[in-house]
Amino acid sequence: ATTTLLGPSEIRALAERAGVRPTKTLGQNFVLDAGTVRKIVRQADVRAGESVVEVGPGLGSLTLGLLEADADVTAVEIDPVLARLLPGTVAAHVPGLVVDDADRERVVLRDGDGRVRLTVVLADALDVRALPDPQPTALVANLPYNVSVPVLLTFLERFASLERGLVMVQAEVADRLAAPPGSRTYGVPSAKVAWYAAARRTATVGRAVFWPAPNVDSALVRLDRREPPSTTAAREDVFAVVDAAFSQRRKMLRSALAQLAGSSTAAQEAVLAAGLDPQTRGEQVDVDGFAAIAERLVAARP
């Protein structure tokens, strides 16, 4: 017997039986297409036996794909109805998995050898501060659209064990995440994600593979952890510079950073000392540039 993935009729039947009515506020669009699921798993380079974290397993489409690739999965789901449904769906599709341990917030499924293959955690992903061992090396998720960027940044910040990510997000967000400095879509998410990882848009996914179909196309983004910029400034200080630099997109750095620096003269000095032109706009500066500015601003603090 082998693992089977969910298709359109099964997704609908599952939802109907459990009384699941997908909500927009939680970004509930479920993947109906096994080909898309396998593509996500493939592009994530999931290894057998690897510990993977998934945010928002929903009805389990991607969870089953990850288990099929022999990954061990921790799945964090905010919706109690979906979190409660998932263990049964997985046990019915992955031969040999049985529910071993369950309480209100956590359900564990093991295989015949006692290996933990799936832990379902009922929680808001933004509130999760610790994950069960072994610590995950990959984040693989079809992210809820309204919180995709905060979830991504939170996970990269909190879980240092994550070395890779493959996430599905709105196409427009994917463009922003992967945008290089100087491009039209470069902005706060691009610069902040670049602190942690190199981001690449790897594929477009049409709306027809979802139920219900969203109003926009989606895209896959591959993330590979990189060393943060080498700087003495704290990450928070660098992010404050990024936020200020883009708060008024059309402004030159000198004026955009004036408030944060205390004066436009102080801002000008920090930008110059960082080796940048004070007339440059935020959209031209990479994360190393923002880090250099932050370092000078911190050093000049009284």
Structure-block tokens of residue 167: 């996430």
Consecutive H or E run containing 240 = helix 235-247
* 82 or 294: CB nearest ligand SAM: 82
Which is nearest to 289 in space by CA: 270, 273, 276, 302?
276
The DSSP bridge partners found for residue 163 are: none
Amino acid at 295: E
Which of 15, 20, 31, 209 is in the footprint of ligand SAM by CB under 6 A? 31
* 34 or 293: CB nearest ligand SAM: 34
Stretch in the footprint of ligand SAM (CB under 6 A) among 76-84, 93-101, 107-115, 182-190 = 76-84
What's the min distance (Å) between Cβ of 40 and ligand SAM?
8
142 labelled binding-site residue: yes
Does 118 bind ligand SAM (CB under 6 A)? Our answer is no
29 labelled binding-site residue: yes
What is the DSSP secondary structure assignment for residue 132, as one 8-state letter?
Answer: P
Does 125 bind ligand SAM (CB under 6 A)? Our answer is yes
33/173 Cα distance (integer angstroms): 22
Site for ligand SAM in 41-70 (CB under 6 A): 55-59, 61-62
Q: What is the DSSP string of 219-230?
A: EEEEEEE-PPP-
102/160 Cα distance (integer angstroms): 27
Site for ligand SAM in 137-166 (CB under 6 A): 142, 144, 147
Stretch in the footprint of ligand SAM (CB under 6 A) among 110-118, 122-130, 188-196, 268-276 = 122-130
Which of 44, 78, 109, 194 is in the footprint of ligand SAM by CB under 6 A? 78
138/259 Cα distance (integer angstroms): 39
Does 233 bind ligand SAM (CB under 6 A)? Our answer is no
End-to-end alpha carbon distance in the chain: 68
Binding residues for ligand SAM (CB under 6 A): 26-31, 55-59, 61-62, 76-79, 82, 124-126, 142, 144, 147
